[in-house]
Chains A and B, each alone.
Chain A
Amino acid sequence: MLRIPCPHCGPRDEAEFSYRGDATVTRPGPEDGIEAFHGYLYERRNPRGWQVEWWQHGAGCRAFLKVLRHTVTHEIRAVATATEALEVPEA
C-alpha cells in the first residue's frame, strides 16, 4: 500500500489518488514537428528505478502532484506541487 504525503492534505492512502503518467514528458511547441509529438505521446523512459510522475489527488484537494517514486521498491522519496521542480536522482 502506498502512502503519498500530499503537500496540501498531508499523508493519504494511494486509493485517493490516480497515476497520470511520467512527469518528465513535456509538450512540444506547435511547430516542433511530428517526431517531437510522437516522442511526447508515445515513447517512454519507463525506468527500472526512480521516476518523477504525475498523481492526481482526486479524493482530496484534486491537485496534480509530482511524486518521486521508485518503480521496483515503490518507495516515495519526495512530493511536490505541479509547478515546483523535482529532479530524478542520478542513480
Chain B
Amino acid sequence: MPRYSGFRILAEGLRGNSGWQPAWRKPAPKSSYDVVVVGGGGHGLATAFYLAEVHGIRNVAVLEKGPIGHGNTGRNTTIVRSNYLLPENNNFYEHSLKLWEGLEQSLGYNVMMSQRGVINLFHNDAQRNAALRRGNSMRLNGIDAEILDRDGVKAMCPLVDLDNGRYPVMGGLLQRRGGTARHDAVAWGFAHAADARGVDIIEHCEVTGMIVEGGAIQGVRTTRGEIRAPKVGLAVAGHTSTLTDMAGFRVPIETHLLQAFVSEGLKPLIDCVVTFGAGHFYISQSDKGGLVFGGGLDGYPSYGQRGTLPEAEHVYAAGISMIPALGRLRGLRSWAGVMDMTPDGSPYICKTPVRGLYMTAGWCYGGFKATPGSGWCHAWTIAKDEPHRLNAAHTLDRFREGRMLDERGNGPFFWAQ
C-alpha cells in the first residue's frame, strides 16, 4: 500500500494524525559508498533517486550541508515549462516535463504539479516573430505551443493591461502543459522515494575537500569525516566553483543573486503563469493564495542569499505595468537565492577533468523545471560514465569547441543571461 494516499489522510484524521512516520531516515554517514552526491537540493536528491530506480545503484549518499531543500529548490518561483528555442535544450526540458507529468506516481508523493499554462507576452512585431520562431521550433520537436492573439490573452488572464500606453500587448506564446509545482514537496518527495530505495540522505554534512589521486576522485572530506567513493556527482548550484576549486579546476560559472517575492494571500486571481515581454517579470498564484513573482538578477556576483532594493523596485514596477491591479496589493516577503550563471545561459550535465567526478550545474535561474530531467541525465552519466544523448551537448568543453548553447544570443556575459 502506498505510504501516502487519500485513504491514509482520512484514516490519520480519525486517529489524530498519530501514525505518520518521518518521510526519510537520518542515517549516520558510512565510510564509503558506490556514489556520493554532493548537494541535497532537488537536483542532488533526484540524481540519487534515479541512480537507485533506473540503474539499480543503491549504495548512495546525498551529502547536504544544511537541511535538504533550503537552497534554490526552496526559494524559486516554481515555474515548470519546456518552451526553449534550441533543440538541445527543448528536447532536454521536454524530457524533464514528461517526467514531471508522471512524477507523483513515480515518487508516491504529492508534488502539486499543476499544468495551468505558461504565457509569454509579446508587445511588438519583432517579439512576435521571435515567439513564432520559438513556438515552431518546439512544435518541430513534438512539444505543444500555441500563439494567442490579444483576445486569447484576455480570455486566459483578464487582468493583463492589453492597452498599456507604452507596451501594448500583441499576443502571447502559450505552452498549456507548462505550470507550477510545490517546490518543498519536490525536495521531500525525491528524498522520501530515494530513501525508500536505500539511499542515505545525510543532512548537516558539509563537503570541505575533495580527495583526488592520480587525476581520479577517491572521495570527499566532510564536517562528519572522510567518505570514500569511486564516483562523486556535484549538484550544488551556486556553490559549484567552491567545490571545483577543491578538486583543482575552474569552471565557466559566476554566482549571482536572484530575488523572489510573494504578496499577501488572496482569493483566486491569476490561474496561469504570465510573463511580461517588456521587462523581466513573471507571476503566478500559489495554492495558498499568495501571488508569487520575480524578475531578473540583481546584476553582481553574490553568495549572500539576499537582494537589494533597486531590483525589487524594478520588479514591482514591471508587475504594475503588466497588471495594474497589483498596485493595490501589499508585498508579504522577499528573499534571494544564489544562481550558477553560465556564459551562454545553458547548463552542464557532464563529466569533468577529474575522472569519476560528474556535475549537474549552471542552471542559471531556470533549473527548478529541470529537476527530474537533470537528476535523470546526471544519474545516467554517473552510472554509464558517458552522457545520454539528451545531455550530450551540455558539456564544460562546449565553449572551447565553439558549440555554445546560446539560447538568447547575449554574448559570453554571465550576468546578461
Contact = CB atoms under 8 A, between A and B. Distances in A.
Contact of B299 (A18, A38, A48): A18
Contacts of A8: none
B299 A19 contact: yes
Given A1-B309, A42-B412, A48-B242, A53 B250 contact: no
Interface in A2-46: 2, 13-15, 18-19, 21-22, 34, 38-39, 41-46
Q: Which of B242, B252, B413 has the most CB of A within 10 A?
A: B252
B399 A19 contact: no
B4 interface: no
Interface band, chain B: 20 to 34
Contacts of A2: 300, 308
Interface in A54-91: 69, 71-74
Given A42-B343, A43-B252, A19 B412 contact: no
B353 to A, nearest CB: 11
B303 A43 contact: no
Given A2-B308, A71-B304, A46 B343 contact: no
A15 B310 contact: yes
B41 to A, nearest CB: 17
B308 A42 contact: no
A51 B223 CA distance: 27
A43 B310 contact: no
Contacts of B304: 71-74
Nearest to A41: B412
A46 B255 CA distance: 7
Nearest to B250: A43
Given A14-B310, A46-B301, A71 B255 contact: yes
A39 B169 CA distance: 43
Nearest to A18: B299
Contacts, number: 69
Interface string B405-417: 0000000111100
Given A18-B299, A71-B302, A72-B303, A44 B399 contact: no
Contacts of A74: 302, 304, 308
A74 B309 CA distance: 14
A14 B304 CA distance: 17
B343 A41 contact: yes
A14 B310 CA distance: 8
Interface band, chain A: 20 to 34
A42 B303 CA distance: 19
B250 A44 contact: yes
A71 B303 contact: yes
A46 B400 contact: no
B302 A38 contact: no
Contacts of A19: 299-301, 415
Given A42-B399, A53-B300, A71-B303, A14 B250 contact: no
A78 to B, nearest CB: 16
Contact of A14 (B303, B308, B414): B308
Nearest to A15: B310
A53 B308 contact: no
B119 interface: no
Interface in B382-417: 399-400, 412-415
A71 B343 contact: no
B354 to A, nearest CB: 15
B253 interface: yes
A90 to B, nearest CB: 16
Contacts of B254: 22, 44, 46
Contacts of A14: 308, 310
Contact of A44 (B252, B302, B310): B252
A52 to B, nearest CB: 12
B414 A44 contact: yes
Contacts of B302: 71-72, 74
A8 B34 CA distance: 58
A69 B253 CA distance: 18
Nearest to B344: A42
A79 to B, nearest CB: 14
6 contacts: A1-B308, A41-B412, A43-B252, A46-B255, A47-B241, A71-B304
Given A72-B302, A72-B304, 8 more contacts: A13-B310, A15-B310, A21-B415, A38-B399, A42-B412, A44-B253, A46-B255, A53-B300
